[in-house]
A and B are shown apart, each in its own frame.
Chain A
Amino acid sequence: MNLDIEFDRVSIRYGDVEAVKDMSFRLDGGKIYGLLGRNGAGKTSLLSVLASFREPSSGTVKVGGEQPFENAKIMREVSFLYDIDYKDESDKVKAAIETVAGYRPRFDTEYALRLARNFNLPLDKPLKELSKGMQSAFNVTIGLASRSPVTILDEVYLGMDAPTREIFYRELLEDQERHPRTFILSTHLVSEMDYLFEEVIIIHKGRFVLQDDYESLTSRGVSITGPAQKVDEFTPGLKVLNVQQLGSTKSAIVYGELSEESKHAARRAGLELGPISLQDLFIHITGEEQGT
């Protein structure tokens, strides 16, 4: 079951503050999306609307062509995992898994228990006694084993150590292979998680910035390095995201595909062309000192 998601001119206001401004984009079902934005960009607000935790102040959200808010049919198919506070949760891990299994129509309990073992989660320990990283591993376990057609993982790795995060990424990819659904991963760890994303959405200060598939996005970013004068001669007309200069050598990060002709011209001028990472692109797109 693949559910397409559509945000149409969605705004979310908290009193006088507009956290999300007039955002429109569409996510086709069955892919892993990376939602990138700096702190306060509006990621969690946007995701809470999708999970029916709140209504948008204006605009509409549709999941599988239907409004999700208070729609039982859609709400049970959308899982939203975030940094959940378990300080009062005395249920043991195994009991908590079995409880959720009763709520989510596609939940795979065996898979959940296997994941819990992989994450070294103690099944007989109350959730409130787990460490931060273990609680995050529990959230990931629930998120993956629910097999919800729309699964939102909002910074779910908090407190996880590097090996545990690696298990999370591997399990995510493997289970997506077996049971394709829509994952939306909101993260700050761009460089570590970028290989998971099929498509990337970048938002900044409550506004939609861009949506593109990972390959095209990174292939559209090019770093041009060489003598400052040559770089300056080459870049007019291109969308320059960032420029750095060290002595007489300048490096410009350009967003937009270069034609074969331009690439030849650059090389003839002694300029070096290189790829840029999603993280670089993200930093430059959402950085305060953007180029022009």
Chain B
Amino acid sequence: MKQPTSAASRIMMEMFWHQGSWAIGYLVIVFLLNLALGITGSSSNIGQDDFFSIIYRSTKGFMLVIGIISSFGFLSFYVRHGFTRRDFFKGAALAALLLSIAFPLVVGPVSLLLSAMNFSDTGNSPVLQAFEHNWFLALASFGIQIFVYYLMGWMIGSGFYRHDWIRGLGFIAIAIVLVGFMDALWQFELASLWDRWMPAFTLDVPLYASLAGSAVIMVLGLVLIRLLTRKVTIKLR
């Protein structure tokens, strides 16, 4: 009889592999889009922005979406195959963390490479300028924020999976507040995403406060997800 390997680490690796392949597809599409708009001289923001700035913004949406998708698809799949909700929670959270680390590790060097090849003007990147050209800080902030966006997607998906749509909407509201707060902690991002729907505010805080605030949001998100999924009924479909 085969000895089962650690259930959570198996789920982590499988989900990382699966979502990583989506991420590669997404990066290729953004790159090609960036290239096409750059060549055609589009006057849109996308055409003008450098690769890193575009990825910095759009990956949040990507992580939010795969967080939502993963919440119910993968949960049903793993419980159906004899895994506990607890192991799924651990494995999925670790996979999201790995993905949030892998993104900056891939995007940073690729941006530099594109800049060196004159495909993208990373030197004038608005995002990098906001971080005073500190690549480490820019990439760390990128990783932290996309991880939070994934958690928010997972929380929203879990809210809809467990409850009716009215309470599901409540989790969207919680996510908007938490994401708004996090964006404010990282100062310049809020306006670009939320200013159409909610009043923009920025918090002039030192770096350690941004990190601590983000950590609190992550813990809060993880606690809410665990509470939602701890005893959730798996739908038969």
Q: Which residues of A approach B to under 8 Å, CB–CB? A: 44, 48, 52-55, 69-72, 75-80, 82-85, 88, 100, 102-107, 148
Q: Which of B40-48, B50-58, B82-90, B91-99 contacts A (4 or more CB under 8 A)?
A: B82-90
B83 touches A72 (CB 8 A): yes
Q: How far is the CA of A84 from the CA of B81 in the complex (A)?
A: 12
Which one of A52, A107, A148 has the greatest number of beta carbons of chain B within 10 Å? A52
Q: How far is the CA of A113 from the CA of B87 in the complex (A)?
A: 29
Contact of A52 among B1, B10, B73, B79 (CB under 8 A): B79
Which one of B3, B86, B234 has the greatest number of beta carbons of chain A within 10 Å? B234
A55 touches B83 (CB 8 A): no
A72 touches B1 (CB 8 A): no
Q: Is the interface of B mostly helix, strand, loop or mixed?
A: loop
**Nearest Cβ on chain B to A275's Cβ, whole angstroms:** 37
B233 touches A71 (CB 8 A): no
Given contacts A82-B236, A84-B80, contact A70 B7 (CB under 8 A): no
Q: How far is the CA of A102 from the CA of B6 in the complex (A)?
A: 12
B4 within 8 A of A: yes
Q: How far is the CA of A77 from the CA of B1 in the complex (A)?
A: 12
**Nearest Cβ on chain B to A52's Cβ, whole angstroms:** 7
**Nearest Cβ on chain A to B65's Cβ, whole angstroms:** 15
B167 within 8 A of A: no
User: Within 8 Å CB of A44, what residues of B?
Assistant: 236
User: Within 8 Å CB of A53, what residues of B?
Assistant: 79-80, 233-234, 236
A72 touches B87 (CB 8 A): yes
B236 touches A76 (CB 8 A): no
User: Within 8 Å CB of B81, what residues of A?
Assistant: 100, 103-104
Name B123-141 residues within 8 Å CB distance of A.
none
A72 touches B234 (CB 8 A): no
Given contacts A72-B7, A105-B1, contact A85 B237 (CB under 8 A): yes
**Nearest Cβ on chain A to B6's Cβ, whole angstroms:** 10
A72 touches B84 (CB 8 A): yes
Q: How far is the CA of A81 from the CA of B211 in the complex (A)?
A: 46
Closest residue of A by beta carbon distance from B1: A105
User: Within 8 Å CB of B82, what residues of A?
Assistant: 75-79, 103-104, 148
B231 touches A105 (CB 8 A): no
Name B1-42 residues within 8 Å CB distance of A.
1-4, 7, 10
User: Within 8 Å CB of A103, what residues of B?
Assistant: 81-83
Q: How far is the CA of A79 from the CA of B81 in the complex (A)?
A: 7
User: Within 8 Å CB of A104, what residues of B?
Assistant: 81-82
